[in-house]
Amino acid sequence: MKIIVCVERGADPEAPPASFKVDAGGNRVVLAADVPVVLDPYSEYALEAALKLKDAHGGQVIALSLGTDLPREVIKKALAMGADELVLLEDEAFADGDSWSTAYALAMAIKKTGDYDLILCGRQAADWGEGQVGLGIAEVLSLPGVTVARKIDVADGKAQVERVTGDGYEVIETPLPAVVTVSNEIGEPRYPTIRGIMAAKRKEPVIWKPADIGVQPSEVGAAGRRSRLVKLFQPVHKANCQIIHGETPEEAGANLAERLRLEKLI
């Protein structure tokens, strides 16, 4: 079985809210200097889903990432966790894409990898949170797609996917190849082992340019966008929390109840 996992990197979404600022022109997000770049959390869940399937059925896992200046120490975590190959679409032409141009380039790269059984993506990226790239790849490649998976089983050329819904989940059967987007319910991503980290150090990623995947620079990245960013701005929070005190924590708790009673909240 051959599984392709799309992995993105980005600013650590757990960084304090004050670390995310907008530049004066409202064009770019400016991150505080101490915010680390990490693998996008849902990309890690997708990778974990792929590795679980590899554990059970064997096969090959290819991690695929698109961007510019992809930091090796971050992106190679995919190899350290257990992916067999790392393919990077790394070129200025791929920069600043939207869901459409990103999905298109990834789909064309996946086509180039030849036969595949399953394509996995995260349910939504931490930065723009669009939740569109996986479905976009499915549409470009005319494949069935199942979103927000909490469990994936594969047998006889089919996958059974448990899809998270608002009130539980549904089990969906899809023929392969298919695209599946993965949610955190799949289980915590594994930590890289020392052996994995050593192997990742030695392994060099394969790098593809637009011409390698048969696309024009004008079709990808910023040039291939269909949507336009008008502006970015910072939401305002009015911070006026009133702290309720007490001689002891217990008294503070009781005082809180009294106060909420006055406010008619309880």
Partner 1 sequence: MSQNQGVMIFGEVVNGQLQAITKELLGCGRKLASELQEELSAVLLGSNLAGSAREAITFGADRVYIVDAPLLKDYQADAYMPVMERLVKQTAPRILLLGQTSIGQDLAPRLAFRLGTEATTDCIELSIDPESGLLERTKPVYGGNVMAVITGEHFPEVATVRSKAYSPLEADVSKRGEVINIEAEVEPPAMRTRIIEKVSQVAEGIRLEEAATVVAGGRGIGSNQDFKQLEELARLLKGAIGASRPPCDNGWIGDTAQIGLTGKIIAPDFYLAVALSGSSQHISGVSGAKNIVAINKDPEANIFRVARFGVVGDWKKVLPAFTARVRELAGEN
Ligand X SMILES: Cc1cc2nc3c(=O)[nH]c(=O)nc-3n(C[C@H](O)[C@H](O)[C@H](O)COP(=O)(O)OP(=O)(O)OC[C@H]3O[C@@H](n4cnc5c(N)ncnc54)[C@H](O)[C@@H]3O)c2cc1C
Return the residues of window 31-70 that contact partner 1 according to CB under 8 A: none
210 binds, among ligand X, partner 1, ligand AMP, none (CB under 5 to 8 A by kind): none
Minimum CB–partner distance for residue 150 and ligand AMP (Å): 15
Q: Which residues contact 206 (CB under 8 A, 6 or more apart)?
A: 85, 86, 87, 88
What is the three-class DSSP state of 152? strand
Q: Residue 78 interacts with ligand X (CB under 6 A)?
A: no
From candidates 1, 96, 128, 203, binder to partner 1 by CB under 8 A: 128
By DSSP bridging, strand 145-155 and strand 178-182 are parallel
76 binds, among ligand AMP, ligand X, partner 1, none (CB under 5 to 8 A by kind): none
Q: Find out whether 1 and 13 touch, Cβ atoms under 8 Å.
A: no
Q: Residue 180 interacts with ligand AMP (CB under 6 A)?
A: no
Q: Residue 76 interacts with partner 1 (CB under 8 A)?
A: no
By CB neighbour count within 10 A (0-12 exposed, 13-18 middle, 19+ buried), where does 46 fall? buried
From candidates 24, 33, 155, 243, binder to partner 1 by CB under 8 A: 243
- At 167, which helix (H) or strand (E)? none
Minimum CB–partner distance for residue 122 and ligand AMP (Å): 2
Token pair for residue 141? 């490649």
Length of the chain equals 266
Residues 82-141 binding ligand AMP (CB under 6 A) are 99, 102, 106, 121-122, 124-125, 128-134
Residue number, 7 or 146, with CB nearest to partner 1: 146
From candidates 33, 115, 230, 247, binder to partner 1 by CB under 8 A: 230
- At 162, which helix (H) or strand (E)? strand 158-165
Q: Which residues contact 53 (CB under 8 A, 6 or more apart)?
A: 1, 3, 59, 118, 152, 154
Q: In this structure, how many other beta carbons lie within 10 angstroms of the beta carbon of residue 151?
A: 18
Give the contact letters, 44-83, x = binds to ligand AMP (CB under 6 A), - = no.
Answer: --x-----------------xxxx----------------
251 binds, among partner 1, ligand X, ligand AMP, none (CB under 5 to 8 A by kind): partner 1
Q: Find out whether 107 and 6 touch, Cβ atoms under 8 Å.
A: no
Residues 94-113 binding partner 1 (CB under 8 A) are 98-100, 103
Q: Residue 182 interacts with ligand X (CB under 6 A)?
A: no
Minimum CB–partner distance for residue 250 and partner 1 (Å): 4
* DSSP line for 18-54: GGEEE-TTS--EEE-TTPPEEE-HHHHHHHHHHHHHH
Q: Find out whether 90 and 221 touch, Cβ atoms under 8 Å.
A: no
In the complex, the residues that contact ligand AMP under the rule CB under 6 A are 6-8, 40, 42-43, 46, 64-67, 99, 102, 106, 121-122, 124-125, 128-134
